[in-house]
Amino acid sequence: MRRIRANYQASLVGIAMMAVVTGCSDAPTYTPVAAGSTVVALGDSLTYGYGASSETAYPAVLASLSGWTVVNAGVNGDTSADVLARLDAIIAQQPDLVLLGVGGNDVLQRINPETTRSNLIAIIRALKAADSQVILIAEPHFSVSALFGRVSDNPVYEEVAESEDVLLYERGWSEILADDNLKSDKIHANAAGYRQFAEGLYNYLKDKHIAR
């Protein structure tokens, strides 16, 4: 009886170890990005820094934290289709890493979620084909509830991150845009909000051993 119990316990340990190994192997793999590397922050007004100055937009803050050359490629009002249309100019910069945050305007303009999903996938695949690493950044699913401080990520980002095997930075914008002290208006951060986002993203990238 004691031998059976020991074998059973050993089997449980073995199963647990296999689960850990399997979980690790499923995680996207990234190469650390050295100081001085070119990183592109690609997106819409939240990347651009609407509601604050260019010096306080999140890409500028991230550059000071990381030592990277962070190019602010955020354009006010851009949808996922707009970013896809200007992707060749981004690829030409040969970035080591692209921080992709777009899709909020798709929701505001009531663009079909399937179109947003398809555009995000096309952007990620094109960047990967050009040997650029990609981090997907979730943006809020703007709705009436968002006006009352109840802000949550659009589920499309989790779906795309899983299907395309890329890391997803979650809840960064949703937490900021749920706090009136961190907003310049209903859907944009202020300088303090952009700093908090940059610091949170930087810590996330350090935890993933992408930033140092």
Active site residue 188: yes
Rounded to whole angstroms, the Cα distance separating 180 from 106 reads 23
Rounded to whole angstroms, the Cα distance separating 147 from 161 reads 27
One-letter identity of residue 151: V
Q: What share of the chain is helix, strand, coil (3-state, %, to 5)?
A: 50, 15, 35
100, 71 in Cβ contact below 8 A? no
Catalytic residue among 66, 96, 106, 188: 188
**CB count in 10 Å sphere of residue 192:** 16
Active site residue 45: yes
Catalytic residue among 64, 143, 185, 209: 185
Tokens standing for residue 138: 């979730």
Catalytic residue among 44, 45, 80, 132: 45
Active site residues: 45, 185, 188
